[in-house]
A = this chain, B = another copy of it.
Amino acid sequence: MKINRHYLDLEESYLFSTINTKVSAYKKDHSEAEVIRLGIGDVTLPLPQVCVDAMKEAADEQSHAETFRGYGPEQGYPFLREAIAGYYEKKGIGLAASEVFVSDGAKSDLGNILDIFSEENTVLIPDPVYPVYVDTNVMAGRKIVYMDACAENGFLPMPDPALKADIIYLCSPNNPTGAAYTKEQLAAWVSYALDNSAVILYDAAYEAFVSDPDLPRSIYEVENADRCAIEFCSFSKTAGFTGTRCGWTVVPDALIFDGVRLNQLWLRRQTTKFNGVSYIVQCGAAAVFSEEGQRQVKANIDVYRGNARIIAQTLTECGVWFTGGENSPYIWLACPDGMDSWDFFDALLEQANVVGTPGAGFGKNGKSFFRLTSFGSPDATREAMKRIRTFLKKEETAD
């Protein structure tokens, strides 16, 4: 048996393990230090109570023969697909429930979607980037070209007409940079994709953090995007489903390549290699769309938004360049004086006892940038910012 040798081309990622090693070593030598972590992308607030109640009720249903549910539709129960379509309707986007596929999270579908595309395609990926976009394509041996996201373009790269690509990854609001495209910018991408018969894989996992009413929360707010884009979204960062696992993927009926409807290809993929999300979890996810669910989710997001605001204010006061924070849970800051991101990491850990993520871990354009997240507790975030303010002032004085 021959293995898939493309796997051997994968680069090992030591980002989070190196961070953990460094933090552990520091803590060992400084047992008194209270280290605050603003590095990971995981949430800290518990699940909304409506979700918990719905899941407990569903579990009870599963304990009686009369209400027991066995195999469900692989693409998700109609009650959840319709609720998601209803969520889009509120944004003015008309979707049929059959265009919505319930998933066990955006990460799974972002990887698995590639199954329906030929390995001969060229993939366009921004740098810095969520590493999964790169790795899943390396695994299939696809040719990858990168586009620079940097301070000059506000970390929002625009299409280069000279560059030919077939599959384009866009993530807005972005992980790791927090930058968010305007509708006009997305329209330029849609136009490029249609001109080049390319498909856009649009990662909208952080859409709920957009607070500016002029910024799009779905690529389908742009005309004709349904003819070139697949959108991935998740309950992870809104309803805290990082460990509960549910998301969705929109594959519009209008999406036709080589004369084949992608919706049908994806349906075939999912009915063959997937068996649906747990009924109990789907009930929890559906509760998010109830009136009370929307209220509870908003309350959670508001906490994280408040944290982002505190971080953004601190950096502004200290004269540090950054993107994100306003329409995103991520803040992407320029390390002072073009400092290397790992050196900044070490200094911040040692002098302020605050942990963030070095930008180098997301690509070459992240080398002198640094990611902070707003998913901590408000108290910890405030304390971390107090320390960062002192640290940056000291750095300034030392210059």
Contact = CB atoms under 8 A, between A and B. Distances in A.
Contact of A62 (B4, B10, B52): B52
A79 interface: no
- Of the four ranges (under 10, 10 to 19, 20 to 34, 35 or more), the interface on chain A belongs to 35 or more
Nearest to A196: B1
B70 A43 contact: yes
Given A70-B42, A71-B242, A111-B272, A117 B52 contact: no
Given A49-B63, A59-B55, A280-B281, A4 B244 contact: no
A56 interface: yes
Contact of A272 (B136, B199, B279): B136
Contacts of A107: 273-275
B52 A63 contact: yes
Given A104-B104, A243-B72, A273-B111, A118 B281 contact: no
Interface in A231-247: 240, 242-245
Contact of A116 (B7, B115, B118, B269): B7
Contact of A1 (B8, B117, B244): B117
Nearest to A2: B118
Interface stretch (A254-262, A337-345, A357-365): A254-262
B62 A3 contact: no
Contacts of A132: 272-273
A240 B70 contact: yes
A119 B139 CA distance: 12
A46 interface: yes
Interface string A127-148: 0000010011001000000000
Given A42-B70, A69-B243, A139 B115 contact: yes
A64 B197 CA distance: 48
A56 B58 CA distance: 9
